[in-house]
């Protein structure tokens, strides 16, 4: 069962759809966008495995606690 934010569970976006959307927004090919996505995910995983936090600009940060549990802290968006 999905335990992430409800908005992502509802969208249910998978890598091919995400790569296609990235390609459209960056005026690149789907293959280039998929490669960029793989590098981003790889870097996030590397940081988490090394005990570092992994920041996603505009979204928040993943952190691994002392007990090994992964958590996500959304970025504060001050609007006003």
Furthest C-alpha separation in the chain = 42
* pLDDT given for residue 2 in this prediction: 42
pLDDT bracket for residue 11 (50, 70, 90):
low
pLDDT bracket for residue 67 (50, 70, 90):
confident
pLDDT in tens, 17-61: 989 999 999 999 999 999 999 999 899 989 988 989 999 888 899
Q: 């495995």: which residue's tokens? A: 49
Report if residue 79 sits inside a domain.
Answer: no
* pLDDT given for residue 8 in this prediction: 46
Report if residue 80 sits inside a domain.
Answer: no
Query: Cα–Cα distances in Å, from 70 out to 27, 44, 49, 73?
Result: 33, 12, 10, 10
* pLDDT given for residue 79 in this prediction: 52
CATH number (domain holding residue 42): 4.10.520.10
* pLDDT given for residue 46 in this prediction: 92
Count of structural domains, the chain: 1
Full strand arrangement of the beta sheet holding 60-64: 54-56, 60-64, 70-74
Report if residue 48 sits inside a domain.
Answer: yes
Report if residue 26 sits inside a domain.
Answer: yes
């Amino acid at each position: 069962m999905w335990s992430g934010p409800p908005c992502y569970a509802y969208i249910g976006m998978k890598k091919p759809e995400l790569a296609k959307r990235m390609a459209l927004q960056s005026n690149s090919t789907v293959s280039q966008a998929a490669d960029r996505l793989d590098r981003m995910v790889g870097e996030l995983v590397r940081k988490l495995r090394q005990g570092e936090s992994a920041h996603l600009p505009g979204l928040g940060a993943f952190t691994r606690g002392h007990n090994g549990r992964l958590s996500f802290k959304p970025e504060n968006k001050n609007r006003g």
